[in-house]
Amino acid sequence: MRFQITSSEFDNGQPIPRKYTGEGDDVSPPLAWNNVPEGTRQFALICDDPDAPTAEPWVHWVIYGISADTRSLPEGIPAGRPKLEKPLATLQGKNSWTSGATTGYRGPLPPPGHGTHHYHFKLYALDNAIDVPPSATKKQLLAAIEGHVLAEAELTGTYAR
């Protein structure tokens, strides 16, 4: 079986419910994974939108330092907090926003009339515990995990306004 990430709230390639968007409650969706590769020591997750009208994909979430025995992230991981102890001990990095909660999850909010955007939740199974400080950027996290990725799982949700 292949390493897989899912959500109980939307299927791969399907719309993300409004609750998890900037037009709704703007809370992170519940995510779960299975078929974890042997030797996994930690997980990291990045959610971004390559359809954004920006030079780089718009970053919605960077969360890492997730322990190897974790198999899910509950709904509503607190945004704006780089270091968490509850609901699980983990670190969060910077998203692409410049005001409000600039760390943690910020949901889809594409420009009105810009068409359907695709939000890629990429989960990385790592062969080592990485040492990245809280509030890291996507670029910093990707540099730190380079050479340590055992497998990658992806869930894509869509949203349009």
Looking at the 3D structure of the chain, how many domains does it have?
1
What predicted TM-score, i.e. pTM, was given to this entire model?
Answer: 0.97
Tell whether the torsion through CA atoms of 9, 15, 19 and 22 is positive or negative.
positive
Q: What phi and psi, each to the nearest 5 degrees, are found at residue 140?
A: -65, -45
Amino acid identity of residue 99, one-letter, is: S
Give the Cβ contact number of residue 157 at 10 Å: 25
pLDDT along the chain (161 residues), means of 10: 96 98 98 98 98 96 97 97 93 96 96 96 97 97 98 98 95
Contacts of residue 137, Cβ cutoff 8 Å, sequence gap at least 6: 59, 62, 93, 94
Instruction: Give me the domain span that covers residue 135.
Output: 4-159
Task: Give me the pLDDT at residue 1, please.
Answer: 85
CATH number of the domain residue 44 falls in: 3.90.280.10
Task: Give me the pLDDT at residue 120, please.
Answer: 98
Place of tokens 């955007």: 117
User: Which ranges of the chain would DSSP assign to H, the alpha helix?
Assistant: 138-145
CA 7/CA 30 separation, integer angstroms: 6
